[in-house]
Amino acid sequence: MVLKTELCRFSGSKIYPGKGIQFVCSDSQVFLFANSKCKRYFHNRLKPAKLTWQQCTGSSIRRIYMLRL
């Protein structure tokens, strides 16, 4: 059985089905967050590259998104 995982919009961590928080902006843009900590930091406009606890720091962000293309 294959599970479709999504990536957190802030931290880049995997989100399994039935988990995470989905936020929809007024312009119909959908954001998926792994937990409330990621959602809170996103709304406070903190930059993910400056936090050390997450997977997407610095140049690894570019590598992750280049693999998705």
Angstrom distance (rounded) from CA 38 to CA 63: 20
Asked if residue 53 is part of any domain, the answer here is: yes
Tell whether the model's pLDDT for residue 69 goes beyond 60: no
Domain that holds residue 23: 6-68
Q: CA 22 to CA 29: how far, in whole Å?
A: 10
What is the average pLDDT score of the chain? 82
Q: What average pLDDT score do residues 29-50 get?
A: 90
Q: Has residue 19 been placed in a domain?
A: yes
The total of structural domains in the chain comes to 1
Residue 1 lies inside a defined structural domain of this protein: no
CATH number at residue 22: 2.30.170.20
| DSSP 8-state code for residue 21 | E
* pTM for the model: 0.71
Residue 60 lies in a domain: yes
Residue position matching structure tokens 């967050």: 33
Report the pLDDT averaged over residues 13-37. 94
| Contact yes or no for 31/23 (Cβ under 8 A) | yes
More confident call, 57 vs 45 = 45
